[in-house]
Amino acid sequence: MPQKKQTVSLVLGSGGARGMAHVGVIRWLEDHNYEIKSISGCSIGAAIGGAYAMGNLEQFVAWLEKYKRSDMYYMLDFMFGKGGFVKGDKVLETIKKQIGTELIENLPIKFTAVAADISNEEEVWLRKGSLSEAIRASISLPLFFTPYELNGVKLLDGGILNPTPIEPTLNDGTDLTIVVNLGGAPEVKLPEKQVKKDPWQRKLDIYINKMKKYRNKTSNEWSMMYVADQSFNAMQNAIAQQKMKMYPPDFVINIPRNKCNTLEFEKTAEMIEFGYKIAGDVLGKRHVVKAKASVG
């Protein structure tokens, strides 16, 4: 007799390109007898969650897997003096094309995109209306994108106030609530194993290291975007930890915050694979315990 699928409320956090790990988590859940009944997403989590709820996730992923850093410049309509560097109209058109234009209330899966109304200092839960516009509002990274006006309210990235939006799922009545947090503890990178090198290789390494040191001294490492990105990540991480203490989910899948940078979408395939693996690491133990219990 087939085992009944366990229902899941899935919370997909914000964190730029690290959010491609969301795709790997979703694939793992589908492969292991879980049914996603509800999704609450913020920023990239809203984009991935919305694509899945729409039934267009694989199309969206196929497009992103072809993404190159140079492609980004064709999608950006730069402007200045309106609250951000990028107007975002081209991004909205891309969302419509790659994800869809359905109304949220007509989706087969309950879906909430979370944005931030900073004028009133409150979250906005987008559960009705245009899916593509809700995603555009939720991904409005401060300083980078201009705020998106929806229903007369200017909205920014939901991660400002709630990077892991658990609250919209509290009354779902599903078996499990699973959070994918993109601000996990940094991954510790072990030093590479030292291999004996010939004298010429050692001299070349010394020269390269000297050039790196010189470049670091002369380059402006603390660019405005770097400072803004790191500050935003630090703020989100602190808020996410508070929210998860207030509303403890059944499981948290933590993606290391140094796994990739905010705009490194060229690492899509790598992050999807990592998301699948870490979902297995966190949730796979549960299957082992259940199997032992059924045998006993």
Distances (CA, A) of 21 to 26, 28, 134, 140, 231: 9, 11, 21, 20, 22
List all residues 6 or more positions away from 257 whose beta carbon is below 8 Å from its beta carbon: 15, 18, 182, 183, 184, 185, 186, 233, 237
| Residue 198, in any domain of the structure | no
| Residue 174, in any domain of the structure | yes
| Residue 59, in any domain of the structure | yes
Predicted TM-score (pTM) of this structure: 0.83
pLDDT per 10-residue tile (average), the chain, 296 residues: 87 96 98 97 98 96 80 72 78 92 97 96 97 96 89 93 96 97 84 55 55 48 64 78 92 94 90 98 71 38
| Residue 201, in any domain of the structure | no
Residues with catalytic function: 43, 157
Q: And the tokens for 5?
A: 């699928």
| Residue 228, in any domain of the structure | no
Please, what's the b/e burial string for 224-234 (b: 16 or more CB within 10 A of its CB; e: otherwise)? eeeeebeebbe
Let me know the angle formed at the C-alpha of 234 by 237 and 60, rounded to the nearest 5 degrees. 65
| Residue 213, in any domain of the structure | no
Strand-strand pairing, 34-42 and 84-86:
unpaired
Give, rounded to a whole angstrom, the gap between the first and last alpha carbons of the chain. Answer: 18
Whether 280 contacts 260, CB under 8 Å: no
| Residue 199, in any domain of the structure | no
**Count of domains in the chain?**
1
Range of the domain at 161: 6-189+238-295
Amino acid at 74: Y
Which CATH number goes with the domain that contains 18?
3.40.1090.10
Residues 133, 99: Cα–Cα separation, whole Å: 11
